[in-house]
Structures are given as C-alpha cells and as structure tokens.
Amino acid sequence: MVTGSTRGLGYAIAEAMVAQGAQVVVSSENAEDTAAAAARLGATGIVCDVSDDGAIAALVAQVVERFGGIDILVSNAGIQGGGSADPLDMSGFDRVIAVNLRSMVVLTKHALPVMAGREGASVILIASIAGLRGNARIEGYALAKAAVVQLARNLAVQWGPKGVRSNAIAPGLIETSFADGLIGNAEFMARRLQMTPLRRVGQPHEIAGAAVFLAAPAGGFVNGQVIVVDGGTVITDGG
C-alpha cells in the first residue's frame, strides 16, 4: 500500500513495486486521479484523505478485506510547507503537521497490528533531508520530516520483535512536480547544485529503488534507519 501515489515519488514507488510483482494499492484524496493511476499501473485504487482519521482507518480496513493483510506499507502522502521568512507566520503550520506527520502516526497505528507476524513485513516512511539539517523558511515541513525519521526509529523498536521492519527514506531535491518551484528558481538551483557533489537533481526512480530495497529480502536486516538519497547534499562542505 502506497499513500500519495498518483504522481511524483509515490507513483514511482508504486510503479517499481508493481514491476517487482507486488499487488499494489495506490491511494490519494482525489478519486479521479486515484482511478487513473490504478488503471495505468494495473493496481487497486482506494481513495483516502490522510488528514481524516476515519478515512485512514477505512483505507486499512478495505485493504485487509480485499487482500487479507498488508506486507509493505509506504507512507508517502504529504504537502509542501510554507516558505515565509517571518518566524511568526504560522499560517498552514497545523495542516502541514497534520498531513506530513500526524497522518503517518495514525496510518501506522492502524496498519501495524495487521502487519505483525507477516513474513517480510516492512514499513517505509518518506521523510526528507529537510528534517536532517537546519532550515530558515520551511519550519513546519522540516519539523514534520524530522519527526518522521524518529517515528521510523520508534516503530522499529516497538514492532521489530513482532517481525515488522520500519525505516525512512530522506530524499534530496528530486525532479517531480512537487519540486517545480525550486527547480525553476535559477538562484536556488545554483546554490543547491554547488552543495551537491553529483551536481544534479535526483530522479523519482532513484527513490523508488531505495524503497524496493527496504521492502525486499535484501533489506531484511535493515531496521530503524534513515536512508538518505540526495546526491551527497547533506555531507558536503559546499566546495
């Protein structure tokens, strides 16, 4: 099951999972987009607004009813944070936290009990390098993503004894519609590429590959970790 999977990273992850033979459930809050993505992928589409606790519970229940359980959960749904330089600007803060963090907590609370004991059970939370370093403008988003990394660690400790692995992926700048505003900003891109040793932005399939690894037997002893996929941005001195 992949949330936020009608476009961007979520779609790429769902596509990669399908290619590896998984039965995939794609989901978003938009019924038309969900149906179209499911049709393209040959997957099952279930509509879910992750800001609604009841909708999350219903999503998990429907997946269990149709497939008998959940082996792989990719919690990807998220929204962009604000970019204000004003530290007192809290507009949108609560919604960013609700969608990017709280929804993942609620989703895992419902899904993990039905994943426990299933062979190869794997939870993959999509974080961001924004949660690994200081940020001046995307406070709510960065705070949420930092907490997502900690959520992966907590779940690993709580559910590892029941056979469920939990990990996070922290993408850097990836070429998706989510990042169009940044990629189209020449001044920002000059700084970012100077900070990135590979001197390019990432591609969705490079995040999807990390997700497949974490879902597969090859990642069977990886638990409670954050895998950074950013071309080296967070480790460089910018030189």
Active-site amino acid positions:
141
**Cβ proximity of 126 and 168 under 8 Å:** yes
Buried b (16+ CB within 10 A) or exposed e, 169-201: bbbbbbebebbeeebeeeeeeeebbebbeeeeb
Amino acid at residue number 174: I
The three-state secondary structure class of 174 is: strand
Q: How far is CA 5 from CA 19, 44, 185, in A?
A: 15, 11, 26
Give the Cα separation of 212 and 23 in Å (integer): 13
Q: How many whole angstroms from its chain centre is CA 167?
A: 10
User: CA angle, 153 as apex, 149 and 155 as ends, to 5°?
Assistant: 115
Residue 67, token pair as written in the block: 């497939």
| DSSP 8-class letter at 80 | P
CA dihedral (193, 199, 201, 205) in degrees, to 10, reads -160
SS3 category, 228: strand
Task: Give the CA distances from residue 4 to residues 9, 136, 185, in Å, rounded to whole numbers and listed in that order.
Answer: 8, 26, 25
